[in-house]
Amino acid sequence: MKKYILILAGLSLQFASMAQAGVCGQFHKKYCVLEKVKGEKWQYNAQSKSGLFSMGMTSKLRCVIYKGMDYRMSVCCESVLGDKVNFKILDARTNELLFDNTSADNTQIFEFQSVSTRQLIIEVVVPQGATNKDEHKTQDGACVGLLIEHKVTDKQGFSQY
């Protein structure tokens, strides 16, 4: 009998976690997608995430970037949270602030080249304050997506002979 109860409890927890992931699961793939420019070869990075956020909430994500790669990070959210989400990029080892979109006109897209392999911490903040009201959703929570894309850095300058 105890065996069946443990199995049932395990299945309940598994279904609960699947339901939680299902709320915003692939939001970043659907809503953060940028227009593809002909000739650009951006690839989806599996470190991209979506999550359920509320007003004033902060969440951090650790990711690895590699030397010789270009990266593009973009954030997006449902209109009930407003149209801007704040995000910072920090070096995970030194905690040095590398980028803050609040000091870059609240841009929701950031592109950069990586000169070394290292870990970053991406901090996403949904600010408190005015939002665009959406009749179909409550303001208790809404989806936020962080889309990370990468490509091999284009060769520049003279090639070696």
Phi, psi of 28 (to 5 degrees): -65, -35
Q: Which amino acid is at 151?
A: K
Token pair for 1: 């009998």
Q: How many Å apart are CA 71 and CA 69, to the nearest integer? A: 6
State the pLDDT at residue 130.
47
State the pLDDT at residue 14.
45
State the pLDDT at residue 49.
95
Give the up-direction half-sphere exposure of residue 43: CA atoms within 13 A in the CB hemisphere.
Answer: 8
Q: Which residues of the chain have pLDDT under 50?
A: 6, 9, 11-20, 130, 134, 137
State the pLDDT at residue 81.
76
73-103 pLDDT, tens digit per residue, is: 999 988 877 777 899 999 999 999 999 999 9
The pTM for the full model equals 0.75
State the pLDDT at residue 80.
79
Instruction: Calculate the alpha carbon distances from 87 to 26, 60, 96 in Å.
Output: 19, 9, 14
Cα 80 to chain centroid distance, Å, stands at 18
At which residue do the structure tokens 């070696």 appear? 160
Structural domains in the chain, sorted by start: 25-152 (2.60.120.380)
